């Protein structure tokens, strides 16, 4: 439960940061925090008391109780890639915005666009 | 952060309305999430739906069905191989995007000596890189191939490979110029255009394997139908390796593309911003 | 064909998205032929599926040969194939405009074969993402393709340069927040049921006894998708994105992007989550927000001077209309919502291609700049007129019929919600009348003012065409489709609805 | 009623529509363009006439149903009332077309191609309104009519004219949207919403709901019919060229609105339901108020065409009044008034247009001396004016007589008084026109009758009006059509046509 609440707190912080921080780069970092929160949440769903990493070692036929749930890990590999990709593209956009408008402050940027 | 220099108004902060709204909305979000979470299965509960519904098959049958000892790899590349194709497409999309946004007029070669080598320009750095890079690149390939039986796989390997490429670029400058200023360094690794080609080739290989399965009468990405000989699990294992290699190519290529394009953009973006821009809350 | 087309439909766009940039990078020559051929092939696959589903019923397709819930399944019924045809069809027009259209918008950097190839690849990727969303039967897979389409869309929007970059960044923040909210919701669902397959979810959800957790899940998913669908008041990203995009992009994303998210919302809320208590409440809220969006979008559209911005606000109004239909949830309402998706996609695509083209040929973006254009380019302006009339809902254009269905549905729904929906739809038509007839009046009945013609033809130079021919073709074709869709509305409806009713009867029982 | 499935109704509606594109395409060749117009008019008239014998025999041509919406097909039916309106509009379209030729040429107006194209579309839409077999079809044609007449109204394209066009659209589009809502509602209450003699809504919803629906429908059709207080656009729309005004008033927009009210009262709600809901009397009172108010406004109006416009507002409320009373004779009188007013009002507008074309004068006070200079024109005007007032042997008399009798059937004595007063008011505002034209001296400038294109149509229309007044059941048998329409609505009324004319 604690880890769930931790994920919730991270998520809230992240999304609040996206909305409230005045600097676009900081918004982007907050966005990353938000994405990580979801990853934490998913991965914690995979945890199983008394089980080990989902990689088959030596020995007989595997039993479900022995291993962690591999599905959330798989999903989160994908989610991490999504997060990385979004961040990469967003950085690209920020570089462009910075060189074109000479500011990363949201309000200044909007004023300049007016 | 620091105060703005005199004569320059401080950067504006967030509008008050939004701050007030946020002060109400975000605590509500947090409370709502936590209230919902209290009803979720306990952390680590072996009897939770997540642990009992789908995962037993993945755990118990994956090795027999797909030939992968690493169940994550089995799910990633086989049961949910379509997701992984999507994942490759996502990162490829980011690469495309940065190319479009930043390297607008195509991969313009940098002027000689425009790399980041000179600021560092130390013999130690150069020597360390020479030793490290081959190891990193080799380890990347190992991580790719060994993904079947241990943590690893195409994405992880690709990122490692890509960081190897980045390391070279950081120390010796962009790969696509003649490196006339440092002839001792062997020209190795793809340039920007080459990285793009790598990324494209990865996606093409992935989709190609999927379509090949269709050509032999299976569903899209149903590797079991590929005529590679051996029992189905073995065929699937081979094909999965192909998939992982495709992801590897895409990721490695895209990581290099992202680095190159952003560094091109940074070089063009000129003077640093005034201090404190946007920092005042 | 039936067992090959589903795979082709999702594979071809991704194949093309890699192939076209690859060719561009290797050959340094134009890539227009392969790009257009790919778009045509995708459309052919979509049409083939549409026909096949109409003739022989829905198709379930297990990607990788793994049946659900272990593998990822695709699901094609009348509903999803209709949206797929819309996406693939309008993508063809967008590709056409992208290929032959005006070389560049004002702020965009110079074009090279490589850059063109990259943009074509991004469009194919966007199509692939959207088709993936439409096809999938897996809630996580939906997230992946949502992100593919989003990233490709950010790229295409930002390719306009200048302000478009800022619009793209804000779109990216909103879109990523939307994706994360959705994914968080999916996490809740997974924790509660252990599955990601939509059919499996729908079967297992009724036995879940955690109402609060389920409510959180439904709300997270609904909010996430509503942001992407630009449901009022979560529409903030939309106007700038539509206005500053390059014309081919604007035409495409204004036509289908938000609609595909609305489709996902319909699938999940109306079908998968309809059995939950929270699902019904959220549908009600959707309805009321739809009403608010219809009114607010219409009023703000009236307030705009720039035509593209007016069109963007009118899109928010139209999305509200679609979500009213989704929220009411009766078979009639779903028909209306679907119809409005189709009608609005065709008409808005037409209008954005046209308005963007006219803006690009430097005739300005305000009503004054359009004065007297009807006499100079009667055919294209007549086509735009048809699209505008469809937006207002004048018979026999497609927009009239969608409005008719939605009005009927709101009467049969009854109660305060029904009355509000009824009034909002009527009001939105009136507002649309105000803002579109203002333009039509200028186009057909006014002569250009004293302001010097920016195109310079008054100075005796070569007159600039009102709308470059590459854009006129999609504009006219889409207008014809608007008319045909209207006249053949009934057969469409007969095709789409039975699947919804027989395959997934859950929703019709839930009518509030 | 026997129904004959045939394509003739489609032909009648489609003729004008099919002519739009050829007209637009032959913009550079005026002669060819006009051939298209007249050909379409002839086809429409031919189709209308070819359907008359069936109507005389108690049958009706019905087009195949094109499914548009669930249970709501697009369908046309040539019932007596529709046929009456269709025949009238076909005849008057031909007359107006030839008049337009002379008018546009003598004034050298621009945009003639768009004018004729919009004209054809408007007439086709009016034909569709006439023959619509259900509310959906009616609505579609009605909306098309609104848009098709917009270019005609703003033909002159000046800022003021565009403003008037906006006011026209404001009224008609708002009304159109309300009508849409009402049609959808009716379609939900009674699937298909087919026009049924005697109405189809009885018992489908609570009284209150039906009353609201009635108001919505009435506002929807009433705006075009210029029922008070929705008449504001009509005088403003007088900025249109005169043939357009003639068409608007005699055939297309306003008349379509009045026709719609009649359909609403007789074929959607039905007299019985209207009485049961207590709607008949308020509607009659509204009509009476409109008649008096408009007549008084006409008295004070010096602008020639605007006076005619107010006269239209007043006259069309006779039709609304007949629909509201709902007795057989009143309905027959109202239906017949569609034709009577059509011929008379088009005569009057043609005359006003001829005066403008010949002299450029638009106000009644400037007409001095013209009576002698333009004898044919003012003779025709005299016929029209007297007919409007209800002088015997002219068609207006037949409508009013039957209206009065029908009102007496319903014990509404006040209607008779109203008709008398209104007739006197008619005389009071039309006779001064003749007085000024005939007895007051001119300003000395020489004035001659305009070209034959402009003289022949009003004379023809006046003669037709005389024929209609003397022998209302000859030829196209307008009286018969009106009577059978009324009979179908009130089939049960035993006292039908006691003492009716002729």
Nearest-Cα distance to chain C for B91, in Å, is 8
Gap between the Cα atoms of C107 and A96, Å rounded: 13
Beta-bridged to residue D62, according to DSSP, are D5, D77
Q: Which residue of A has its CA nearest to B18?
A: A20
Quote the CA–CA distance of C259 and C91 in Å, as a whole number. 14
For residue C303, what are the CA distances in angstroms to C238, C262, C300, C431?
16, 26, 5, 10
**% of chain C beyond a pLDDT of 90:** 49
What is the domain count for chain C?
1
Rounded to a whole number of angstroms, the distance from the CA of A38 to the nearest CA of chain C is 6
> B223: which chain C residues are within 8 Å (Cβ-Cβ)?
64
> In this model, does residue C328 exceed pLDDT 60?
yes
- Domain ranges across chain D: 2-489
What length does chain A have?
A: 114
**Chain A contact for C190, CB < 8 A?**
yes
* Neighbour-count burial for D51-68, b at 16+ CB within 10 Å, e otherwise: bbebbeeebbbbbebebb
Three-state SS for C79?
helix
Average pLDDT, chain A: 88
Which of A61-65, B75-79, C173-177, D308-312 has the weakest average pLDDT? A61-65
Domain residues for the domain of A35 are: 2-48+68-113
More confident residue, C105 or D26: D26
Q: C406 touching D, CB under 8 A?
A: no
Examine residue A92 and state whether it is found in any structural domain, yes or no.
Answer: yes
Which is nearest to D444 in space by CA: D333, D347, D359?
D359
End-to-end CA distance of chain D: 24
Asked whether the bond before A84 is cis by omega within 30 degrees of 0, the reply is no
| D341 vs C487, more confident | D341
Domain that residue C480 falls in:
5-449+464-509
Whether omega before D502 lies within 30 degrees of 0, making that bond cis, reads yes
Contacts of C488 by beta carbon, 8 Å cutoff, 6+ apart = none
C140–A75: do the CB atoms touch at under 8 Å?
A: yes
> Which of B 17-36 lie inside 8 A of C, CB atoms?
32-33, 35-36
- Report chain C residues whose CB lies below 8 A from the CB of B261: none
Q: How far is C17 from chain B (nearest CA, A)?
A: 8
Q: How far apart are CA C175 and CA C181, in angstroms?
A: 10
Lowest-pLDDT range of B201-205, B218-222, C69-73, D492-496: D492-496
Distances (CA, A) of C306 to C200, C239, C247, C368, C436: 48, 11, 15, 10, 12
Helix (H, G, I), strand (E, B) or coil at C274: coil
Does pLDDT of B272 surpass 70? no
Q: How many residues does chain B have?
A: 281
Judge whether C390 lies within some domain: yes
Main-chain dihedrals φ then ψ at residue A20, nearest 5 degrees: -105, -25
Among partner residues D140, D154, D178, which is closest to C395 by beta-carbon distance? D140
Phi, psi of A81 (to 5 degrees): -60, -40
Closest residue of chain B to A3, computed from CA coordinates = B43
What does DSSP assign to residue B69? S
Number of H helices, E strands in chain A: 4, 0
Q: CATH code at A105?
A: 1.10.287.3510
Q: Which pLDDT does position B273 carry in this prediction?
A: 64
Q: Which of residues 34-63 of B touch A (CB under 8 A)?
A: 34, 37-38, 40, 42-46, 48, 50-52, 54-56, 58-60, 62-63
Span D210-263, pLDDT tens digits: 999 999 999 999 888 888 888 888 888 888 888 888 887 777 888 899 999 999
Q: Could you give phi then psi for residue D476, rounded to 5 degrees?
A: -70, -5
Handedness of CA C104, C109, C112, C115 (dihedral sign): negative
Contact yes or no for C19 and B214 at CB 8 A: no
Contact: C147, A41; criterion CB under 8 Å: no
Q: Does C172 touch chain B (CB under 8 A)?
A: no
Q: D38, D97 in Cβ contact below 8 A?
A: yes
Q: Is residue C456 part of a domain?
A: no
> How close B106 gets to chain C, by Cα (Å)?
6
Residue C229 has phi, psi (to 5 degrees) of: -85, 5
Q: Please tell me the distance from the alpha carbon of residue A70 to that of residue D33, in angstroms, as a whole number.
A: 77
Q: How confident is the model at residue C106 (pLDDT cuts 50, 70, 90)?
A: very low
| Nearest CB to A89 within list C151, C166, C187 | C151
What band does B274 get if pLDDT is binned at 50, 70 and 90? low
Which residue in chain B is spatially nearest to C155 when comparing CA positions?
Answer: B97
CA max distance for chain D = 68
Which residues of chain D neighbour C412 with C-beta distances below 8 Å? 188
Task: Choose the mutation target among A2, A23, A114 for the interface with B, i.e. most B CBs under 10 Å.
Answer: A23
B95 interaction partners in chain A (CB closer than 8 Å): 88
Q: Which residue among C121, C144, C211 places its CB closest to the CB of B86?
A: C144
SS (H, E, C) C187-204: HHHHHHHCCCEHHHHHHH
Residue D40 has what DSSP assignment?
H
Residue C14 domain-assigned? yes
Question: Does A50 sit within 8 Å of B93, measured CB to CB?
Answer: no
Range with the poorest average pLDDT among C217-226, C248-257, D239-248, D345-354 = D239-248
Interface of B with C in 198-227 (CB under 8 A): 199-204, 207-208, 210-211, 214, 218-225
Q: How confident is the model at residue D389 (pLDDT cuts 50, 70, 90)?
A: confident
Q: What pLDDT score was predicted for residue D263?
A: 92
For residues D264 and D212, give the distance between their C-alpha atoms in angstroms, rounded to a whole number: 14
Q: How far is C489 from chain D (nearest CA, A)?
A: 6
Nearest to A93 by CA among C161, C210, B222: C161
Look at residue D457 and give its three-state secondary structure.
Answer: helix
Tokens at residue D221, please? 């059709």
Q: Which residue has the tokens 């379209």?
A: D93
DSSP assignment, residue D2? Answer: E
Asked if residue A61 belongs to a domain, the reply is no
Determine whether the interchain pair A15/C177 forms a contact, defined as Cβ–Cβ distance below 8 Å: yes
| Residue C75, SS3 per DSSP | strand
Specify whether the CB–CB gap between C20 and C125 falls below 8 A.
no
A78, closest residue in chain C (CA to CA)? C144
Nearest-angstrom CA–CA distance, B34 and B39:
9
A74–B278 C-beta distance less than 8 A: no
Inter-chain residue contact C17 with B99, CB threshold 8 Å: no
CA D222 to the chain's CA centroid: 13
pLDDT at position D42: 92
Segment A80-104 mean pLDDT: 90
Place of tokens 């909306």: D143
- Collect all residues of chain C within an 8 Å Cβ-Cβ radius of residue D157: 445-447
Q: Which chains touch D (3 or more CB pairs under 8 A)?
A: C
Residue whose token pair is 């979500």: C323
Encoded tokens for D71: 């249970």
CB B11, CB A105: distance < 8 Å: yes
State how far the alpha carbon of D482 is from the alpha carbons of D82, D155, D215, D247, in Å: 10, 35, 26, 21
C2 touches chain B (CB under 8 A): no
C211 touches chain B (CB under 8 A): yes
Span D280-309, mean pLDDT? 89
Q: Which of C333, C382, C389, C395 to mutate to test the interface with D (most CBs of D within 10 A)?
A: C395
- How many other C-beta atoms can be found within 10 angstroms of the C-beta atom of residue B195? 29
Contact B70, B237 (CB under 8 A): no
For the stretch C75-87, pLDDT in tens is: 998 888 989 999 9
**Partners for C (CB, 8 Å, 3+ pairs)?**
A, B, D
Q: How far is D40 from chain C (nearest CA, A)?
A: 22
CA distance D149 to D119: 7
Taking CB atoms and an 8 Å cut-off, how many pairs form between chains A and C?
Answer: 72
CB contact B233 to A (< 8 Å): no
Distances from the Cα of D316 to the Cα of C372, D328, D333, D466, angstroms: 37, 18, 12, 20
The four Cα atoms D450, D453, D458, D460 give a dihedral, to 10 degrees, of 140
**Could you tell me if residue A59 is inside a domain?**
no
**Chain D residues with CB-CB distance to C489 below 8 A:** 68-69
Task: For residue A7, give how far its alpha carbon lies from the nearest alpha carbon of chain B (Å).
Answer: 9
Interface contact flag, D68 C490, Cβ < 8 Å: yes
State the Cα–Cα distance between residues D485 and D56, nearest whole angstrom. Answer: 11
Identify whether the C-beta of residue C370 lies closer than 8 Å to the C-beta of residue C439.
yes
Under an 8 A CB cutoff, do A99 and B14 touch?
Answer: no
CB contact under 8 A, D157 and C422: no
Confidence of residue D157 (pLDDT cuts 50, 70, 90): confident
Chains that touch A (3 or more CB pairs under 8 A): B, C
How confident is residue B104, by pLDDT bands cut at 50, 70 and 90? low
What does residue B70 show for φ and ψ, rounded to 5 degrees?
-80, 110
DSSP 3-state assignment of B277?
coil
What average pLDDT is seen over chain B?
79
C-alpha B225/C-alpha B217 separation (Å) is 7
In chain D, which residue's Cα lies nearest the Cα of C494? Answer: D70
Is D169 at the interface with chain C, CB within 8 A?
Answer: yes
pLDDT band at C109 (very low <50, low <70, confident <90, very high): low
As a dihedral over the C-alpha atoms of residue B220, residue B226, residue B231, residue B233, rounded to 10 degrees, the angle is -40
3-class DSSP state of D296: helix
Q: Any contact of B with D, at least 3 CB pairs below 8 A?
A: no
Q: pLDDT of C230-268, one tens digit each?
A: 988 888 889 888 988 888 888 999 999 999 999 999 989
Residue C168 resides in a domain: yes
Task: Measure the CA–CA gap between D349 and D250, rounded to whole angstroms.
Answer: 9
Give yes or no for C393 touching D (CB within 8 A).
yes
Chains B and A touch (3+ CB pairs under 8 A): yes
Q: Are D178 and C426 in contact (CB under 8 A)?
A: yes
DSSP state at residue C306: B
């Amino acid at each position: 439960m604690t880890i769930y609440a931790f994920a919730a707190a991270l998520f809230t912080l992240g999304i609040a940061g996206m909305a409230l921080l005045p600097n676009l780069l900081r918004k982007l970092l907050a966005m990353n925090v938000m994405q990580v929160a979801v990853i934490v949440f998913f991965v914690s769903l995979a945890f199983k008391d008394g089980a080990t990493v989902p990689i088959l070692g030596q020995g007989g036929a595997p039993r479900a109780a022995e291993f962690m749930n591999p599905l959330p890990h798989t999903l989160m590999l994908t989610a991490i890639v999504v997060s990385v990709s979004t961040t990469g593209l967003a950085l690209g956009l920020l570089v462009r915005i910075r060189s074109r408008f000479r500011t990363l402050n949201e309000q200044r940027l909007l004023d300049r666009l007016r | 952060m620091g105060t703005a220099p005199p004569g320059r108004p401080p950067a504006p902060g967030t509008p008050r309305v939004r701050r007030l709204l946020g002060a109400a909305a975000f605590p509500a979000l947090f409370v709502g999430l936590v209230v919902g979470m209290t009803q979720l299965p306990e952390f680590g509960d072996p009897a939770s739906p997540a642990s009992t519904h789908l995962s037993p098959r993945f755990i118990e049958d994956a090795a027999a069905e797909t030939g992968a000892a690493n169940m994550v790899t089995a799910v990633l590349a086989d049961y949910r191989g379509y997701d992984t194709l999507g994942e490759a497409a996502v990162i490829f999309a980011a690469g495309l995007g940065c190319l479009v946004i930043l390297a607008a007029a195509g991969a313009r070669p940098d002027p000689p000596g425009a790399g980041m080598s000179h600021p560092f320009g130390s013999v130690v750095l150069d020597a360390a890189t020479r030793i490290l890079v081959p190891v990193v690149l080799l380890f990347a390939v190992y991580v790719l191939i060994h993904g079947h039986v241990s943590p690893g796989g195409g994405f992880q390997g690709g990122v490692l490979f890509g960081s190897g490429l980045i390391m070279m670029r950081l120390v010796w400058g962009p790969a696509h110029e003649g490196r006339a200023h440092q002839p001792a360094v062997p020209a190795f690794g793809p340039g920007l255009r080459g990285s793009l080609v790598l990324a494209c080739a990865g996606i093409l290989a992935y989709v190609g394997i999927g379509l090949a399965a269709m050509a032999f009468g299976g569903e899209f990405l149903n590797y079991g139908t590929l005529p590679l000989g051996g029992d189905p699990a073995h065929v699937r294992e081979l094909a999965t390796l192909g998939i992982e290699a495709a992801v590897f190519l895409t990721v490695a290529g895209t990581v290099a593309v992202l680095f190159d394009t952003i560094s091109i953009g940074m070089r063009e973006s000129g003077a640093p911003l005034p201090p404190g821009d946007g920092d005042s809350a | 064909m039936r067992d090959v087309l589903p795979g082709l439909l999702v594979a071809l766009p991704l194949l093309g998205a890699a192939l076209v940039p690859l060719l561009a990078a290797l050959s340094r020559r134009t890539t227009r032929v392969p790009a257009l051929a790919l778009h045509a092939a995708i459309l052919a696959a979509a049409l083939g599926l549409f026909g096949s589903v109409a003739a022989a019923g829905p198709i379930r397709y297990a990607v990788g040969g793994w049946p659900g819930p272990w593998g990822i399944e695709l699901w094609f019924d009348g509903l999803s194939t209709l949206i797929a045809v819309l996406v693939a069809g309008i993508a063809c027009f967008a590709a056409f405009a992208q290929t032959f259209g005006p070389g560049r918008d004002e702020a965009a950097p110079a074009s090279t074969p490589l850059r063109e190839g990259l943009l074509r690849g991004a469009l194919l990727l966007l199509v692939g993402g959207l088709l993936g969303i439409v096809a999938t039967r897996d809630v996580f897979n939906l997230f992946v393709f949502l992100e593919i389409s989003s990233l490709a869309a950010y790229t295409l929007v930002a390719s306009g340069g200048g302000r478009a970059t800022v619009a793209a960044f804000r779109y990216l923040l909103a879109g990523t927040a939307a994706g994360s909210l959705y994914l968080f919701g999916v996490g809740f669902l997974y924790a509660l049921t252990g599955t990601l397959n939509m059919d499996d979810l729908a079967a297992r959800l009724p036995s879940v006894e955690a109402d609060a957790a389920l409510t959180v899940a439904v709300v997270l998913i609904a909010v996430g998708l509503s942001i992407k669908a630009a449901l009022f008041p979560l529409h903030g990203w939309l106007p700038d994105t539509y206005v500053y995009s390059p014309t081919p992009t604007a035409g495409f994303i204004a036509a289908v992007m938000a609609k595909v998210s609305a489709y996902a919302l319909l699938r999940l809320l109306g079908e998968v989550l309809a059995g939950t208590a929270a699902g019904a409440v959220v549908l009600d809220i959707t309805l009321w927000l739809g009403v608010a969006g219809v009114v607010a979008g219409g009023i703000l559209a009236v307030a705009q001077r720039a035509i593209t911005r007016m069109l963007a606000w009118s899109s928010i109004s139209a999305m509200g209309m679609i979500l009213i239909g989704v929220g009411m949830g009766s078979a009639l309402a779903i028909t209306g919502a679907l119809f409005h998706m189709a009608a609005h996609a065709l008409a808005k695509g037409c209008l954005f291609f046209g308005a963007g083209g006219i803006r690009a040929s430097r005739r300005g973006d305000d009503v004054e700049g359009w004065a007297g254009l009807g006499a100079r380019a009667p055919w294209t302006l007549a086509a735009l007129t048809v699209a505008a009339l469809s937006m207002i809902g004048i018979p026999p254009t497609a927009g009239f019929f969608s409005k008719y269905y939605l009005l009927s549905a709101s009467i049969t729904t009854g109660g305060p919600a029904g009355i509000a929906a009824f009034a909002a739809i009527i009001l939105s038509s009136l507002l649309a009348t105000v803002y579109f007839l203002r333009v039509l009046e200028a186009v057909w009945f006014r002569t250009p003012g004293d302001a010097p013609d920016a195109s310079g033809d008054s100075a005796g130079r070569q007159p600039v065409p009102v709308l470059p021919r590459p854009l006129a073709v999609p504009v006219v074709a889409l207008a014809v489709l608007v008319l045909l869709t209207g006249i053949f509305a009934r057969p469409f409806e007969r095709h789409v609805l039975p699947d919804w009713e027989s395959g997934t009867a859950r929703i019709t029982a839930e009518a509030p | 009623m026997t129904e004959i499935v045939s394509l003739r109704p489609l032909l009648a509606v489609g003729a004008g529509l099919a002519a739009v594109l050829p007209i637009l395409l032959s913009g550079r060749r005026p002669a060819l363009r006009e051939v298209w117009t007249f050909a379409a008019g002839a086809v429409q008239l031919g189709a209308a006439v070819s359907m008359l014998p069936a109507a005389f025999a108690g049958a009706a041509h019905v087009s195949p149903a094109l499914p548009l919406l669930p249970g709501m097909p697009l369908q046309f039916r040539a019932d007596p009332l529709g046929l009456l309106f269709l025949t009238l509009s076909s005849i008057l379209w031909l007359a107006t077309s030839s008049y337009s030729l002379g008018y546009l040429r003598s004034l050298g107006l621009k945009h003639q191609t768009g004018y004729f194209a919009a004209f054809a579309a408007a007439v086709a839409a009016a034909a569709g309104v006439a023959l619509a077999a259900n509310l959906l079809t009616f609505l579609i044609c009605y909306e098309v009519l609104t848009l098709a007449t917009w270019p005609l109204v703003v033909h002159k394209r000046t800022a003021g004219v565009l403003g008037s066009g906006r006011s026209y659209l404001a009224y008609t589009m708002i009304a159109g949207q309300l009508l849409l809502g009402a049609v959808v509602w009716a379609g939900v209450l009674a699937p298909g919403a087919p026009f049924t003699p005697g109405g189809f809504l009885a018992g489908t919803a609570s009284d209150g709901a039906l009353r609201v629906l009635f108001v919505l429908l009435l506002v929807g059709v009433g705006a075009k019919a210029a029922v008070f207080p929705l008449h504001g656009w009509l005088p403003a729309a007088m900025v249109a060229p005169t043939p357009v005004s003639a068409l608007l008033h005699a055939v297309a927009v306003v008349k379509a609105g009045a026709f719609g009210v009649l359909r609403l009262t007789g074929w959607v709600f039905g007299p019985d339901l209207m009485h049961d809901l207590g709607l008949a009397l308020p509607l009659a009172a509204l009509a009476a108020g409109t008649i008096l108010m408009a007549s008084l406004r006409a008295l004070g109006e010096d602008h020639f065409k605007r006076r005619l416009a107010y006269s239209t507002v007043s006259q069309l409320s006779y039709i609304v009044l007949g629909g509201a009373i709902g007795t057989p004779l009143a309905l027959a009188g109202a239906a017949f008034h569609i034709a009577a007013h059509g011929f008379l009002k088009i005569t009057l507008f043609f005359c006003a247009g001829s005066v403008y074309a010949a002299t450029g004068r638009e106000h009644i006070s400037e007409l001095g001396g013209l009576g002698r200079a333009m004898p044919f024109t003012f003779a025709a005007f005299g016929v029209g004016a007297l007919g409007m007032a209800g002088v015997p042997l002219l068609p207006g008399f037949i409508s009013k007589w039957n209206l009065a009798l029908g009102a007496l059937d319903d014990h509404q004595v006040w209607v008779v008084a109203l008709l008398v007063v209104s007739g006197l008011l008619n005389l009071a505002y039309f006779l001064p026109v003749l007085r000024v034209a005939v007895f007051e001296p001119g300003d000395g400038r020489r004035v001659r009758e305009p070209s034959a294109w402009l003289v022949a149509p009003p004379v023809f229309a006046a003669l037709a009006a005389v024929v209609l007044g003397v022998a209302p059941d000859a030829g196209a048998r307008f009286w018969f059509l009106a009577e059978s329409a009324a009979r179908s609505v009130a089939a049960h009324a035993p006292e039908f046509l006691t003492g009716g004319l002729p």
